[in-house]
Amino acid sequence: MAEEVETRLKRLKEIYIKPPEAEVPDPDGFLKLVHWHLDSWQREIIDTLLEDRPVKIAALCGRQVGKSETAALYVAYRMQLEANTEALCISPSLRQSTNIFRKVLKWWRRSRVIEGKATALSLQLVNGSTCFTLPSSSDKVRGYSANVVVIDEASRVEPDVWVSVLPAMSAQKNPKLLLLTTGAAKHGDFYEEWTNGVGYNRWTVPSSTCPRISAENLEDARRKLGTMFAAEHECGFIEEGAGNIFTREMINRCYNPDVDTSLESRINAALGEDDYADDDYHRDAKGRDSVADSDSEIEIDELHTGV
Ligand SMILES: Nc1ncnc2c1ncn2[C@@H]1O[C@H](COP(=O)(O)OP(=O)(O)O)[C@@H](O)[C@H]1O
Ligand SMILES: [Mg+2]
């Protein structure tokens, strides 16, 4: 009887689980497998992320140049290449999170060297790698650990996301942080990191350098967007509410300079607290975590959180 069960189990494993030693090709082989050609800056970013060291990347790019696609391709490749990869994709809204996650799924399905299963917002592979996608909000981000974190549209996520997610990587070996964004207002965490952050590999990719965006379309956008054009397509940071009487610098000078509002001090302050008192976060009777988004509710399998 026991022998029969064992034989059946073996047979099931053969059918449903590809051997974990299934060979994941090198980057060139992977791109061939998924029939994709990267722009040179996209390839540089992926090669940098694959280096055997902690990597922090900040890419300030025009709209539609291929930021999310690049990040998603890297996540899908890395999850298969390295067992037990824990990837988090964070975007300002649920819709944008879903968008980047669909791209991760697309690249995984096209390559599918390592088997796995997907839900609407997560992917788990048989080699132990996971990817979760989250809309930006500190209470939703908190409790995960990750060795790969992608923050898409990083200049637009809520400030507390930075405070919550960066510690999630702190105990990891060779963590990879990938910040992608179009330009935005001249303040906030991304602006601070871009201008003062240490240890970043930085890329600037204006829309005009993208072979898929025509000069004609850009001219049209310039007319329609006015002052926002610089932020959307030319990797610029603009004065918040350009045309306002008071600039951000003038407002900053009104604050008490003795109060440390830096990202680092906020991270330290956040590490000292650990409550989930927010109304939007709760566990249901089955022990699953659930987060209420503004217009929808997402259930997250209990496997997904480390709380
Ligand atoms: N290397 C590439 N080759 C062909 N198409 C690409 C490439 N990179 C991105 N794209 C396409 O360009 C479009 C915009 O890409 P996306 O990553 O969504 O842009 P962004 O996040 O910068 O706004 C998508 O249709 C995407 O598939
Ligand atoms: Mg995008």
Ligand 2 centroid from CA 205, angstroms: 13
Q: State whether the beta carbon of 34 lies less than 6 angstroms from ligand 1.
A: no
Give the pLDDT of residue 139: 66
Q: Can you give the pLDDT at residue 38?
A: 98
With tokens 């963590």, the residue in question is: 175
| DSSP SS3 for 236 | coil
62 SS3 class: coil
Specify the ligand 1 atom closest to the Cα of 99. Answer: 18
Query: What DSSP line would sit under 108-165, residue for residue?
Result: HHHH-SS-EEE-SSEEEETTS-EEEEEES-HHHHTT---SEEEEETGGGS-HHHHHHH
Which pLDDT score is estimated for 279? 33
67 lines ligand 1 (CB under 6 A): yes
Confidence of residue 48 (pLDDT cuts 50, 70, 90): very high
The pLDDT of residue 298 is above 90? no
Q: What pLDDT is stored for residue 133 in this prediction? A: 92
- Contact at 8 Å (CB) between 244 and 252? no
The alpha helices in 181-241, defined as continuous H runs, are 189-196, 215-225, 229-233
CA distances from residue 304 to 23, 56, 71, 122, 180 in whole angstroms, order as listed:
27, 24, 21, 8, 24
**pLDDT band, residue 262 (cuts 50/70/90):** low
What's the burial of 19, exposed, middle or buried (CB within 10 Å: 0-12/13-18/19+)?
exposed
Pick the CATH number of 21-304 from 3.30.2270.10, 3.30.460.30, 3.40.50.300, 1.10.10.350: 3.40.50.300
42 lines ligand 1 (CB under 6 A): yes
What's the burial of 7, exposed, middle or buried (CB within 10 Å: 0-12/13-18/19+)? exposed
Is the pLDDT at 253 greater than 70, yes or no? no
pLDDT at 254 over 90: no
Exposed / middle / buried, residue 185 (Cβ in 10 Å: 0-12, 13-18, 19+): middle
4 burial (CB, 10 Å; 0-12 / 13-18 / 19+) is: exposed
- Give percent of the chain with pLDDT exceeding 90: 55
Task: Say whether pLDDT at 300 is over 70.
Answer: no
CA of 186 to the centre of ligand 1 (A): 26
Instruction: Report domain extents, the chain.
Output: 21-304
104 lines ligand 1 (CB under 6 A): no
Token match 């890395």: residue?
A: 78
Confidence at 263, pLDDT banded by 50, 70, 90? confident
284 pLDDT band (50/70/90 cuts)?
A: very low
Q: Which amino acid is at 168?
A: A
Query: What is Dmax (Cα atoms) for the chain?
Result: 83
Q: What is the mean pLDDT of the chain?
A: 81
CB-CB neighbours of 128 under 10 Å: 15
Residue minimizing CA distance to atom 10 of ligand 1 = 66
Query: Ligand 1 atom closest to Cα of 65?
Result: 22
How much distance in Å is there from the Cα of 100 to the middle of ligand 1?
A: 11
Position 268 pLDDT exceeds 80 = no
Q: What is the pTM of this model?
A: 0.77
Measuring from atom 27 of ligand 1, which residue has the nearest CA? Answer: 69
d(CA 109, CA 82): 17
Q: Is 166 in the pocket of ligand 1 (CB under 6 A)?
A: no
Please list the alpha-helical segments (H only) found in the chain: 2-16, 27-33, 40-49, 67-81, 94-111, 138-141, 159-170, 189-196, 215-225, 229-233, 248-252, 263-271
The residue whose CA is least distant from atom 24 of ligand 1 is 66
Per-residue pLDDT tens over the stretch 236-252: 998 766 545 555 555 55
Q: Please give the distance, rounded to the nearest whole angstrom, from the Cα atom of residue 174 to the centre of ligand 1.
A: 27
pLDDT in tens, 108-132: 999 999 999 999 999 999 999 999 9
pLDDT at 248 (0 to 100)? 53
Distance separating alpha carbons of residues 134 and 305, to the nearest angstrom: 12
For position 243, what pLDDT does the model report?
47
Euclidean distance between CA atoms 72 and 109, whole angstroms: 12
Note the pLDDT of residue 187.
85
Nearest CA, atom 2, ligand 1? 38
